[in-house]
Structure 1
């Protein structure tokens, strides 16, 4: 008896929603990537290997290829097909086409020659390539991309895996948000949803999602706050800081900000051309984004206005999420927060009790 083989089909309305989407042949992708050679392997995007390629017309591409035999990542792949092709913004990585021939499942993207943000900010030498001007450019681009997803696209999109590794850089070092495999779409009248399957990356996932599986636009606001702290400090969430080295990145930043010593937090590779006032503003906004209560985190529209200086009276942030300490002026009845050990870029995929 012949066994039927599972295959992804292209949604009927996908091409109408993304008229520039190409359906590419397996032979053309195989030739473009030199038969998916190891030399062209760019790493992994979610659950899939990604290959660099060049089409016959000379266009450079990145090919995300899901294994034929593995079902891991299948739902993420389908999700990315249905979502990403509909999104058009200068700060989102553009999908060029798809290939489902020969039971293949491949997405074809524009190639981003300058790798991802984490390639620079966490490296002792390459961080110097990101001066303050470039970091401002990256911050503004990521902010604009998220603002589009939350306010200006046809659906409200929650990315759920915003991190330094998913911020890709084009030839002018402009940032583009990538990897929408875990993203979820809301209609404009929806505000939050609940899931029993927790996915994401340690260090970027907010407390309400870890504990209850609740996600909303404030999920990405939290991840954005973590990312912003990393951009201005060059520090990882996987390490501990402070004189006794027992503070998470969020706690360390908050303590320095509250003590008026924010300059100690900033990346030492930044030179005198950096603006202390703008750095401190970024730090304060980032700390507002990582507060425990999602209702107290700003919207991305407010984040944009605060960073632009259009809101001068910026609130004072409260203790960040996942802190094991309490402010002296907090309610004495408050519960000490659960601490999650943060492993940068370690992916979470686990059930949560409901």
Structure 2
């Protein structure tokens, strides 16, 4: 994208002397026209202090053409927006000056994720093509004192959880409630799911026992209900119906795919419920429902989307797909992108949902599939 012979390696090297402290940190910087992603793997559970070191070393403050460049980008940590429309030069008070931003990141599943996104603002071809995206000089991550869990505690927790699971499975087997869910348990076995678990009682309480007044949609998976958890969190609950076009395999596929993904333009999965004959998925609640309803729903449900908003939605969908195809550790092909599977939050930011038909794009295999997948549309 915006190929430039000076930035082929996506590293910018400053050739002039820098006066700031620890100037060696800022001699080289990572650069991209669109986005950068950093991962920290195998981290202990706890709170981490994240320091992001910035310095605008590409643009100048003289009266040359290079002084006309403006760099504006967003920063996300653990999927949360921490810097909006960040301009290094403005924040540091000039070019060639350091600015350090400090944040606390919570790590629960051994992975830390830091993302930098071009905000779609600033200059795009001044002073050169491809130099307007995010730029970062250094990152430091340190575990905060007192936030880690001891090895003994971890072992105790694992043993206790294993014991509880063993007891619950024994009870379920004795009552004969596994039925076709035995296959479900086999499918879930071995998956390192980074998601929570809900009881049927919790879901019924949140949705007022699946009250029809709380029903907000109907998909191939089944009815979708709005709910409110005891802590005040609003949720969207998908319930697998007996008439569902998707079965156990799609249910497991949905959990396995989306539980490992965190991105501003992918809907967040809070957890699932597998109890009795119920299969339920619990997602973050999206205030403006789906793009399909906003565009083609009942007249009273349609939204007035001006062209800047439509452009924002289109770019958001593209960023979500780019993450799935290229930036995620797991390369994924969604295979069912349509307006009903694009949800809109209260600010009309789009989020891709419904990963029941998604497929891993393994590097050794082609992305082309000979099996028909997706939604059938009669013309």
- Of the three residues 267, 271, 275, the one matched with 1:101 is 275
Which whole-Å CA distance do the structure 1 matches of 2:201 and 2:177 have between them? 25
| Post-superposition offset of 1:114 | 0.2
Distance 1:189 1:102 in 2: 40
> 1:96, 1:110 within 8 Å by CA — same for their partners in 2?
yes
**Normalised TM-score (structure 1):** 0.52
**2: CA distance, partners of 1:127 / 1:50:** 19
Match of 1:176 in 2: 351
Task: Give the SS at the match of 2:276.
Answer: helix
Q: Which residue of 2 aligns with 1:13?
A: 191
Question: Which has more strand, going by share of residues?
Answer: 2
Whether 1:76 and 2:254 are equivalent positions in the alignment is no
Tell whether 2:330 aligns with 1:155.
yes
Task: Identify, as 1 or 2, the structure richer in helix.
Answer: 1
Name which structure has the greater RCO, CA cutoff 8 Å, separation 6+: 1
1:37–1:170 distance in 2 versus 1, CA, 3 Å:
same
Which of 292, 295, 310 matches 1:135? 310
Per-residue deviation, residues 90-144 of structure 1 (Å, max 9, x unmatched): 1000000111122321110001010111122236787662001111110110010
Q: CA deviation at 1:27?
A: 0.5
- Residue of 170, 189, 202 corresponding to 2:364: 189
| Closer, same or farther: CA 154–121 of 1 in aligned 2, 3 Å | same
* Structure-2 residue corresponding to 1:257: none
Q: Is the 8 A contact 1:66 1:74 kept in 2?
A: no
Report 1:168-317 matches (<5 A): 168-196=343-371, 198-202=372-376
> Shift of residue 36 of structure 1?
0.8
The structure-2 alpha-carbon separation of the partners of 1:132 and 1:27, relative to structure 1 and needing over 3 Å to count, comes to same
**Cα distance between partner residues in 1 of 2:249 and 2:305:** 36
SS of residue paired to 1:27? helix
**Contact 1:11–1:82, Cα closer than 8 Å, also in 2:** no
Secondary structure, counterpart of 1:199 in structure 2: coil
3-state SS of 2:204 partner: helix
Partner of 1:165: 340
Q: Do 1:114 and 1:168's aligned partners in 2 also have CA atoms closer than 8 Å?
A: yes
Instruction: Summarize the Cα distance change of 1:128–1:97 in structure 2 as closer, same or farther, 3 Å threshold.
Output: closer
Counterpart contact for 1:60–1:111, Cα < 8 Å: yes
**Could you tell me whether the CA contact under 8 Å between 1:42 and 1:51 is conserved in 2?**
yes
Deviation at 1:50, TM superposition (A): 1.1
Q: Which runs of 5+ in 1 are unaligned?
A: 204-341, 344-354
Give, in angstroms, the shift of residue 154 of structure 1.
Answer: 1.5
CA contact 1:25–1:99 (8 Å) conserved in 2: yes
> Contact 1:161/1:182 (CA < 8 Å) preserved in 2?
yes
Output the aligned Cα RMSD: 2.5
Distance 1:126 1:38 in 2: 18
